[in-house]
Chain A
Amino acid sequence: MFDLEIEKLLDLVQKPARYMGGELNSIQRDFEHTSFRYCFGFPDVYEVGMSHVGSRILYDIINKRPDTLCERVFMPWVDMADLMRERHIPLFSLETRHPVRDFDILGITLQYEMSYTNILEILDLSGIPLHSEDRTWADPIVIAGGPCAFNPEPLYHFIDAFSIGDGEVSTLETIEVVERCKRAGMSREECLYELSQLRGVYVPSLYEASYHEDGTLAAFRPIRVGVPERVQKNMVADLDAAEYPENVIVPYMEIVHDRINIEVLRGCTRGCRFCQAGMIYRPVRERSMERILDLAQKLVDNTGYEEITLSSLSTGDYSCLPQLAHEMMERFEKQRVSLSLPSLRLDSELKATLEETQRVRKTSLTYAMEAGTQRLRDVINKGITEEDLMSSVADAFAGGWSGIKLYFMFGLPTETQEDLDGISALAQKVVRQYFATPKEKRARGLRVHCSASCFVPKPFTPFQWEPQDTLEQFKEKQDYLCHIMHIKGVEFNWHTPQVSFLEAVFARGDRRMADVLETAWRNGCRFDGWSDHFLFDTWMKAFETCGVDPAFYANRRREKGELFPWAFIDAGVTEEFLWREHELAMQAKVTPDCRRGCHGCGLKRFEGACRS
C-alpha cells in the first residue's frame, strides 16, 4: 500500500487526496487471493467521477460477487499524469494501488463525449495498447458502457466490447464470460466472440463498415457467423429488484455532489425531442416509496451524510413525490438531514413539497425552460408554458426564495430571432415578478442566473437528422444574446460553441472519428471538457491531418432513410417513432406525456417493461 515512489509523487501534486483511497466504505480486498479483478475507470478526476451514481451502483454490485473485487481508477489531473509518465509509474487503482493493467477487466464509463481523449490517456498511462487488436491476455478486456455507448463508433478502435443499456445485470454477465474464457484457456479473440453473444454487448472488431462516395454509411454488418446483426440494449425491468448500494463510499475530499443520492426513477415519459437520455432510458421505472425510505435510512446510518438528493431525469414526475418528501422530512429532520430535489419540473404538484423542503434549507430553484417562445417549446416538445413558470416563480418569491436559475438552449431547429428575444423577455418577467412580490414576503438579494447552451443533436432523438448551427451562426446568436441579456438582476452565462461543436461531431460520429481522436490526443488534447485545457486549434488540425471534415458530422442535414452508424443498436425507441416525432416537431405539434396515452415509441416490444 505504501509505495514509496507513489508517495513521493503525492507530495508534489495538487489535491493528492484524489489518489489516496482508503475512504469509509471503500472495499479493501486481498488482490493476490481474489480470483477475478475488475477495475472501474472514470475518465475524469476523482471529484467528478465519485459524484456519478451509476459507477457507485456497479462498484457495489461487482464487489458483492463472490471471489471478485472491484477497484476504482480516475483520470489523474495533468500534473499527476505528467509526473507518472516522467517517472514511469503506471496508472494504479485507488484501493490496493495495483497497476490497472493487472486487472481482468477495465470497465470505463462514457458519460460525455468530451472525455474521450481521457480514455486514451488512461489506457496509455496504464501501459495498455491503445488498439484493441494489439492487446494480449497480459492486458485487461476493456469494456465501456454508459449513455455515449449508444453511439460507440468513434471509440471502436480502442474498446474491446461495449455494454449498452442498464448495467446492473449485464456487468455480471460480462464478468462471467471473461472468467470462463480465461479459465478455459481460450484466446482473447474467442473471448470477445463469446462476449458478443450476450445481449447488449457490441464487439466492434466483429463488424465492418463501408461507406458511399458521399461519405455516408453504405453498410454495416458482422464479419463472423453467429454475431448478431442488431444489438439490443439491456434493461432492468424492476428497479426494486435491482441492486442499489446501501453502503456507499464517503470521500474525504469534497466532491461535486457530496451527499446521499437516491435514484427514485429511471427513464422519462415527457418526450422532449432534444433529450437523448429521455429516449434511451425508456421506459419509466419507479423505485417504490418503501424501498426509497429504507435506502435513505440505511444510507444515512452508514455514511453520516447530512443531505439527501432524490435523483432522476425528472424527479418531479415521481408518482408519490409529495408523500415521499413529507415522509422523509418527518424521519430525518431530527437527525438534521436535509432533502434537496434537483431537476424539478415546475408543472408538477410541488407547492406543498417545496414548503416542506424550505423548513430545512432554501436553495435556489432551477427551471429548464430550454427555449424562449411557446412555439419553439412546442417544437422541442418541452411541455412547459410561460404561465407555469410565472406562477411557480411567484410562489417561490412569496415563499422566501430569491435565487432562480433559468436554463435555455440556442441553435434549436427552426429557431428565429424571435425565439432568442423570448429568452430575454422571460428573464425580465421573472425579475418583474420579484419586485411585484410584497417587500415583507420576499427575501432580499434577487439572483437570476440565466444560462444558454448550444444545442447538440444526438443519436436516438427526433433531431438526429438535424444539422447543428455552424460556429459562425452560434457566434452571431451568442453576441446577440449577450447584447439583449443585459438585464439588471440577471447574470447571463454561456458555453463555448467550440466545445458543443466537437461534442456534436462525436455524438453522431462514425469509425473515421477514431483516427481524429487518436491524432488529437497524440498532439496533446485531454480534459477537453475543462475549458482551460480545451485545445480547439489542435482538434481542427487533427481533422485536417486525417482528412475528415467535421462539418459533415455536425452541420449536415441527414435525409430520411440514411443509414446511421448507430442504427445497429436497438435502443428501444424505433426509427419510425423518432421520424414521426421529427415531423411533428417541424409542424410545432406537441406529443403529450405518454402516461396519458401510448404513442408507440417501440418500448411495448419489450415484455413487461412498459407499464404506461
Chain B
Amino acid sequence: MRLLIEFQKTERVRHLGLLDMQRTMQRALRRSHLPVQYSKGFNPHMNMSFASALSSGIPGDAEILDVSLAEPVTEEEALQALRTALPAAMPVTRVRLVDDRFKKMGAKLEAAAYVFTLHTDSETAARLLEAIPRFLAEKEILALRKSKSAERMVDIRPMIFHLEGNATESGAALQATVSFTEPATLKPTLLLDSLCRYAGIEVPPTFIRRTGLFGRNEQAELVPLFDMP
C-alpha cells in the first residue's frame, strides 16, 4: 500500500532544497509513527519520493510525497498523524491511499502551474502585460535551456499551455501552466526570462510560487496530479 501526501511548502520555508525536504519529511514520518516501509540492505532508508523536486526559493501549494507503507492504515489515521507530525510551515492538506501497482506520481506528471509576483513600476508592468498576447501568438519562441551537461536552444512555445497576467499594486502578477515531462520541462525562470526579453524589459525582482501539479486523464485534459485515476 502507498500513501500519497499532499502538502504545502509555505513561503516561510521556501529556501529548502530537495535534501532538506527529504530530511524534514523523513523526520516527520518518524514522528508520525506511520508504518513506513524501509528499503532492505545495509543502510535501510524510507521508501518515499516526491512527485517533483521543488527548487530552493520556490514555495508550493500542492506538493506531493509518495510513501510506501509496510502495513495498512486508513486515510483518516494517516491524516491525523501527519497533521501533528509535520512542521507548521509544511502542513498536510490531503492524503490518499493507493495500491502498490499504482504508477508512481512522478511518472504521471505532465504539467505544473506557477504564479509569478513581480515587483516593478506600473509602466514596466504594463509593457510586460501588453506583450503577453503577442508572445503567445508567436509560432516559435527560442530560449536557451541549460542542463547539467549542455546548453541548447529549444522552442518553448509548445510547452506553454496557459499564460495570463494582471497589474497589481506591487507591479504585476502572472499565472502560467507549463509542460513538465521528462523530455519537455519548462522552468518557470526560463519562461519569465523569455517573456521579459520579448517585452524588452529587465527581469524585475520576482517571487515564484508553484500552485499545482497536473497529470492528463483519458481525454487528455489536465487534472490535478493528486486526483489522477
Interface contact B20-A253, CB-CB below 8 Å: yes
Does chain A have a CB within 8 A of B23?
yes
Interface contact A2-B11, CB-CB below 8 Å: yes
List 4 tightest A-B contacts by C-beta distance, closest first. A304-B27, A304-B30, A16-B15, A304-B31
Q: Would A254 and B23 be within 8 Å (CB), given that A4-B119, A23-B87 are in contact?
A: yes
Question: B11, B17, B19, B31: which contacts A303 (Cβ < 8 A)?
Answer: B31
Q: Which residues of A contact B224 (CB under 8 A)?
A: none
How far, in Å, is B119 (CB) from chain A's closest CB?
Answer: 7
Interface contact A301-B31, CB-CB below 8 Å: yes
Question: B16, B38, B57: which contacts A252 (Cβ < 8 A)?
Answer: B16
Interface contact B31-A302, CB-CB below 8 Å: yes
Chain A, interface size category, equals 20 to 34
Closest to A1 in B: B12
Question: B13, B29, B44, B119: which contacts A20 (Cβ < 8 A)?
Answer: B13
Within 8 A of B (CB), among A2-37: 2, 4, 7-8, 10-11, 16-17, 20-24, 28
Within 8 A of B (CB), among A243-286: 250, 252-254
Q: Would A8 and B205 be within 8 Å (CB), given that A22-B12, A250-B27 are in contact?
A: yes
Q: In whole angstroms, what is the CA distance A23 to B13 when docked?
A: 9
Q: Would A304 and B12 be within 8 Å (CB), given that A16-B57, A22-B89 are in contact?
A: no
Q: Which residues of A contact B89 (CB under 8 A)?
A: 22
Q: Which of B30, B57, B205: most chain A Cβ within 10 A?
A: B30
How far, in Å, is B53 (CB) from chain A's closest CB?
Answer: 15
Does chain A have a CB within 8 A of B88?
yes
Interface contact B26-A304, CB-CB below 8 Å: yes
Interface contact A17-B16, CB-CB below 8 Å: yes
Within 8 A of B (CB), among A79-138: none
- Total interface residues on B, CB under 8 Å, equals 27
Q: In whole angstroms, what is the CA distance A252 to B21 when docked?
A: 8
Q: Which residues of B contact A17 (CB under 8 A)?
A: 15-17, 20, 56
Does chain B have a CB within 8 A of A336?
yes
How far, in Å, is A102 (CB) from chain B's closest CB?
Answer: 20
Q: Which residues of B contact A253 (CB under 8 A)?
A: 16, 20
Within 8 A of A (CB), among B14-58: 15-17, 19-20, 23-24, 26-31, 38, 44, 56-57
Q: In whole angstroms, what is the CA distance A301 to B16 when docked?
A: 23
Q: In whole angstroms, what is the CA distance A252 to B15 when docked?
A: 10
Q: Which residues of A contact B29 (CB under 8 A)?
A: 304
Q: Which residues of A contact B56 (CB under 8 A)?
A: 16-17
Question: A2, A11, A303: which contacts B27 (Cβ < 8 A)?
Answer: A303
Within 8 A of A (CB), among B69-112: 85, 87-89
Does chain B have a CB within 8 A of A306?
yes
Closest to B19 in A: A254
Closest to A302 in B: B31
Within 8 A of A (CB), among B189-209: 205, 207
Interface contact A22-B27, CB-CB below 8 Å: no
Q: In whole angstroms, what is the CA distance A304 to B119 when docked?
A: 39
Q: Would A252 and B24 be within 8 Å (CB), given that A11-B57, A22-B88, A304-B31 are in contact?
A: yes
Interface contact A252-B26, CB-CB below 8 Å: no
How far, in Å, is B228 (CB) from chain A's closest CB?
Answer: 29
How far, in Å, is B12 (CB) from chain A's closest CB?
Answer: 4
Q: Which residues of A contact B11 (CB under 8 A)?
A: 2
Closest to B205 in A: A8
Q: In whole angstroms, what is the CA distance A438 to B88 when docked?
A: 54
Interface contact B57-A20, CB-CB below 8 Å: no
Closest to A306 in B: B30
How far, in Å, is B46 (CB) from chain A's closest CB?
Answer: 10
Interface contact A20-B15, CB-CB below 8 Å: yes
Q: Which residues of B contact A303 (CB under 8 A)?
A: 27, 31
Q: In whole angstroms, what is the CA distance A252 to B19 when docked?
A: 9
Closest to A8 in B: B205
Q: Which residues of B contact A23 (CB under 8 A)?
A: 87
Closest to A335 in B: B30
Q: In whole angstroms, what is the CA distance A200 to B56 when docked?
A: 45
Q: Which residues of B contact A250 (CB under 8 A)?
A: 24, 27, 87
Interface contact A252-B31, CB-CB below 8 Å: no
What 0/1 readout, one digit per residue, does chain A (334-350) give for beta carbons within 8 Å of chain B?
01100000000000000
Closest to B206 in A: A11
Q: Which residues of B contact A24 (CB under 8 A)?
A: 24, 27-28, 87
Q: In whole angstroms, what is the CA distance A23 to B23 when docked?
A: 13
Q: A24-B28, A252-B23 are in contact. List 18 more A-B contacts (CB 8 A).
A: A1-B12, A2-B12, A4-B119, A11-B57, A22-B12, A22-B87, A22-B88, A28-B88, A250-B87, A252-B13, A252-B24, A254-B20, A301-B31, A303-B31, A304-B26, A304-B27, A304-B31, A306-B26
Q: In whole angstroms, what is the CA distance A4 to B205 when docked?
A: 10
Does chain B have a CB within 8 A of A305?
yes
Q: Which residues of A contact B19 (CB under 8 A)?
A: 254
How far, in Å, is B77 (CB) from chain A's closest CB?
Answer: 17
Q: Which residues of A contact B207 (CB under 8 A)?
A: 7
How far, in Å, is A15 (CB) from chain B's closest CB?
Answer: 8
Q: In whole angstroms, what is the CA distance A115 to B82 when docked?
A: 40
Q: List 26 A-B contacts (CB under 8 A).
A: A8-B119, A11-B57, A11-B205, A16-B57, A17-B15, A17-B16, A17-B56, A20-B12, A20-B15, A20-B16, A22-B12, A22-B88, A24-B24, A250-B24, A252-B23, A253-B20, A254-B23, A301-B31, A304-B26, A304-B27, A304-B28, A304-B31, A305-B27, A306-B26, A306-B27, A336-B38
Q: Which residues of B contact A7 (CB under 8 A)?
A: 207
How far, in Å, is A11 (CB) from chain B's closest CB?
Answer: 6
Q: In whole angstroms, what is the CA distance A8 to B205 when docked?
A: 7
Q: Which residues of B contact A8 (CB under 8 A)?
A: 119, 205
Closest to B21 in A: A252
How far, in Å, is B7 (CB) from chain A's closest CB?
Answer: 14
Closest to B85 in A: A304
Q: Which residues of B contact A11 (CB under 8 A)?
A: 57, 205
Q: Which residues of A contact B88 (CB under 8 A)?
A: 22, 28
Q: Which residues of A contact B205 (CB under 8 A)?
A: 8, 11
Q: Would A336 and B27 be within 8 Å (CB), given that A16-B15, A24-B87 are in contact?
A: no
Closest to A28 in B: B88
What 0/1 readout, one digit per residue, does chain A (310-350) give for beta carbons within 8 Å of chain B?
00000000000000000000000001100000000000000
Closest to A13 in B: B15
What 0/1 readout, one digit per residue, does chain A (295-309) give for beta carbons within 8 Å of chain B?
000000111111000
Question: B12, B26, B27, B38: which contacts A21 (Cβ < 8 A)?
Answer: B12
Q: Which residues of A contact B57 (CB under 8 A)?
A: 11, 16
Q: Which of A1, A2, A252: most chain B Cβ within 10 A?
A: A252
Within 8 A of B (CB), among A329-386: 335-336
Q: In whole angstroms, what is the CA distance A11 to B119 when docked?
A: 14
How far, in Å, is B27 (CB) from chain A's closest CB?
Answer: 3
